[in-house]
Structure 1
Amino acid sequence: MTEVDIFSGFLGAGKTTLIKKLIADGYNGQKLVIIENEFGQIGIDSGFLKDSGIQITEMNSGCICCSLVGDFRTALSEVISTYAPDRIVIEPSGVGKLSDVVAAVNQCDYAHVRGTVAVVDATKLKIYLRNFKEFYENQIESAGTIILSRTEAIKQDKLDEAIELIKGINKHAQIITTPLEQLSGKQIIDAIENPQFAEDMAKELLKEQDHCDFEHQHHNHEHSEGCTCGCHDHDHHHEEHHDHHHHHADEVFDSVGFETTHKYTKDSVETILNAFDEDEKFGVILRAKGIVASEKGGWIHFDYVPGESSVRSGVADVTGKICVIGTKVNKEMLAKLFEI
């Protein structure tokens, strides 16, 4: 079964720039076929792709849409039998419906849709939604991952507004907001194939907490050096929840996850983490972890357990992520604290 990634987006959104990046250092070692469809004109970007040693199949008879589903299924089967690729990348016309392309691929017995991506120009989102509502909304609502391009060209409030508009159309999609030049092709592919939301990070922290609780109960409260739940210094929080039988962490603790494009400084992050120790209006916070953009251009990674925190520079993520676990966690107060 050949895996298929579909990259939709209006003309000029940055689809081809993205695909170039993924060819350079994302699809490492894979045999690729690119299927382009440029709505009645020769694909202007085929030269670069051919120079990269990638097989190109152009479909210039119009959009991959309902009227062409049968032809496209035949063409896709022929591409697979002729080239036996590891993966096919489809770049449909900017005015095509992503849902039609997905439906066409799903009708091919030898292909499997792995990633559905909509590349959206953050600076033109509102005007395109107004003028091309049917096509534009379809691309957004049919995508598993939405990559916001040109996020560096708009102010924070406009970026927040764009994200809210997208979530109003597709609340389940992963939204990549980090400028693509800050990410590697491999990071982008990993994000498309295995999206991790802030809520996923929070669940991982809960699993760590569950492990540490188990250690508390079954090993005389001794902990390995790798235990990061904060129980070394704050056993009193755990004692509240230790009966004669083991409770799973998700039965005892609250978890909260946020995605954010807000930019921070190391000092502002440290101030936020210190507030957990100073004021229980946020809840009894036992763990916090995050990766957020820095005002100075890099990225900040942080970890927190009661009385101890680590704030450091680190690699970029596809968007800012913050997760917090504890008891009586006040999500609204946390959102205000992190300025989300």
Structure 2
Amino acid sequence: MTKVDIVSGFLGAGKTTFIKQLLSDVYQGEKIVLIENEFGEIGIDRGFLKDAGVEITEMNSGCICCTLVGDFSTALRKVVDEYHPDRILIEPSGVGKLSDVAKAVRDVEKHCGVCLNGQITVADGKKVKIYMKNFGEFYNNQIEHASVIVLSRTQSMTEEKLKEAVAMIREKNPDASVITTPWDKLDGEVIRKALEHRSVADQLLEEEEHHCCHHHEEGHDHGHHHDEHCSCGHHHEEHHHHGEECGCGHHHHEGHHHADEVFTSWGTETVEKYEKAELENWLEEMADENKYGTVLRAKGIVEGTDGQWLEFDLVPGEYEIRNARPDYTGKVCVIGTDLKTDEIKGFLRV
């Protein structure tokens, strides 16, 4: 039986970095296949995963949940039949709903020889408050349905801010393991235990339950079936029942949106060369001003005027530029709401 782990996370939370660490420290020696469901036209992250010897099935999507459910059974069966992996990692789009992805896996478990193992959400600790407020429908879904929540960028947070972020997460999901230590300080075994949700307390409780023959019916299964009954005890009706009328002709429940109704993704390939300083100014403007719309994530790799390739990454309020190996062409992808694509094209000269 092939284990399936879903590694979700809102735009720019650090999913890709965390997956790198899982591959090198936690799952080394296992045969892994990664399935990406990228929201956007350009798959920027493919390079390093290919370098790691990981096979990729990339399902670029218009309507994320429809694509997942539509192609999902076929994609999973093909992966299992062709590669016989020990584990499949699914990296949904940053604006995909974890509940939809988990449901898609459960719907095909019996037919595809897989079992859903972990539902992991990577969350930027510094952005928990603002994202819960502004993008609750998508962001909270990833928090609520996780069995493990990995907080990123905690090393640059005060203890007070970290406690506040954890408290907000606990309100939405009291059952998940929450990793607050910067993950580059943790060894693989500690991360593995956290991902398997096997804390000492869990083990003691399990032993206690085993000794007293009292069987609970509430479904305390550490978050693995949150789409049916989450910790608040409500039965959730927010899931699409795809397959009957898919192709985005299906009935949308009130208050339940597809990612492509809320977020815009714009991407391009470019042969243009850019000064590092002008790239910095552009990212500065995107990080702090509204000149280009509400930019939630920008990433890309372009050639500098001095011949050095530059890779950049942006989330609201911060960005990073680093030197990179040459790619076959320049690529840029911007995701946000109310994007001013003409202004973006104007800067990029495309």
Normalised-by-shorter TM-score class: 0.5 to 0.7
2:177/2:197 contact within 8 Å kept: no
Question: 1:261 aligns to what?
Answer: none
- Cα distance in 2 between the residues matched to 1:79 and 1:42: 22
Question: 1:49 aligns to what?
Answer: 49
- Cα distance in 2 between the residues matched to 1:96 and 1:131: 16
- Cα distance in 2 between the residues matched to 1:67 and 1:47: 23
Whichever of the two has the greater Rg, that structure is: 1
Distance 1:205 1:93, change over 3 A: closer
- Cα distance in 2 between the residues matched to 1:205 and 1:31: 32
- Cα distance in 1 between the residues matched to 2:175 and 2:196: 15
Q: Which AA in structure 1 matches 2:47? A: G
Question: 1:124 aligns to what?
Answer: 127
SS at match of 1:123: helix
1:168 to 168, 171, 186: 171
> What is the deviation of 1:22?
1.0
> What is the deviation of 1:156?
1.1
Q: Which AA in structure 2 matches 1:48? A: F
When normalised by structure 1's length, the TM-score is 0.57
- Cα distance in 2 between the residues matched to 1:178 and 1:171: 18
2:147/2:197 contact within 8 Å kept: no
Question: 1:26 aligns to what?
Answer: 26
Number of residue equivalences = 208
**Unmatched 5+ stretches in structure 1:** 207-247, 249-340
- Cα distance in 1 between the residues matched to 2:24 and 2:148: 20
Distance 1:113 1:64, change over 3 A: farther
2:193/2:199 contact within 8 Å kept: no
- Cα distance in 2 between the residues matched to 1:63 and 1:187: 36
Q: Is 1:154 aligned to residue 157 of structure 2?
A: yes
SS at match of 1:33: strand
- Deviant stretches of 4+, over 6 Å: none
2:118 to 91, 115, 127: 115
Q: Is 1:196 aligned to residue 209 of structure 2?
A: no
- Cα distance in 1 between the residues matched to 2:12 and 2:124: 8
SS at match of 1:65: helix
Q: Which AA in structure 1 matches 2:33? A: V
Question: 2:91 aligns to what?
Answer: 91
> What is the deviation of 1:41?
2.2
Question: 2:275 aligns to what?
Answer: none
Distance 1:43 1:84, change over 3 A: same
Distance 1:185 1:62, change over 3 A: farther
1:70/1:104 contact within 8 Å kept: no
Question: 2:256 aligns to what?
Answer: none
- Cα distance in 2 between the residues matched to 1:27 and 1:63: 31
Question: 2:74 aligns to what?
Answer: 74
Question: 2:237 aligns to what?
Answer: none
Q: Which AA in structure 1 matches 2:156? A: A
> What is the deviation of 1:11?
1.8
**Unmatched 5+ stretches in structure 2:** 213-350
Q: Which AA in structure 2 matches 1:196? A: S
- Cα distance in 2 between the residues matched to 1:202 and 1:5: 25
Distance 1:203 1:88, change over 3 A: closer
Question: 2:230 aligns to what?
Answer: none
SS at match of 1:56: strand
Q: Which AA in structure 1 matches 2:192? A: I
Q: Which AA in structure 1 matches 2:38? A: E
Distance 1:173 1:63, change over 3 A: farther
Q: Which AA in structure 2 matches 1:97? A: K
Question: 2:340 aligns to what?
Answer: none
SS at match of 1:107: helix
1:36/1:43 contact within 8 Å kept: no
Question: 1:220 aligns to what?
Answer: none
- Cα distance in 2 between the residues matched to 1:118 and 1:173: 10
1:137 to 125, 134, 140: 140
SS at match of 2:29: coil
Question: 1:106 aligns to what?
Answer: 106
- Cα distance in 2 between the residues matched to 1:205 and 1:76: 35
- Cα distance in 2 between the residues matched to 1:204 and 1:67: 38
Q: Which AA in structure 2 matches 1:95? A: V
Counterpart mapping for 1:310-325 below 5 A: none
Distance 1:159 1:67, change over 3 A: same
- Cα distance in 1 between the residues matched to 2:79 and 2:207: 44
- Cα distance in 2 between the residues matched to 1:105 and 1:204: 26
> What is the percent sequence identity of the aligned residues?
57
- Cα distance in 2 between the residues matched to 1:145 and 1:190: 11
Distance 1:162 1:123, change over 3 A: same
Tell me: higher relative CO, structure 1 or 2? Use CA pairs within 8 A at least 6 residues apart.
2
> What is the deviation of 1:135?
0.6
SS at match of 1:172: coil
SS at match of 1:124: helix
- Cα distance in 2 between the residues matched to 1:12 and 1:48: 17
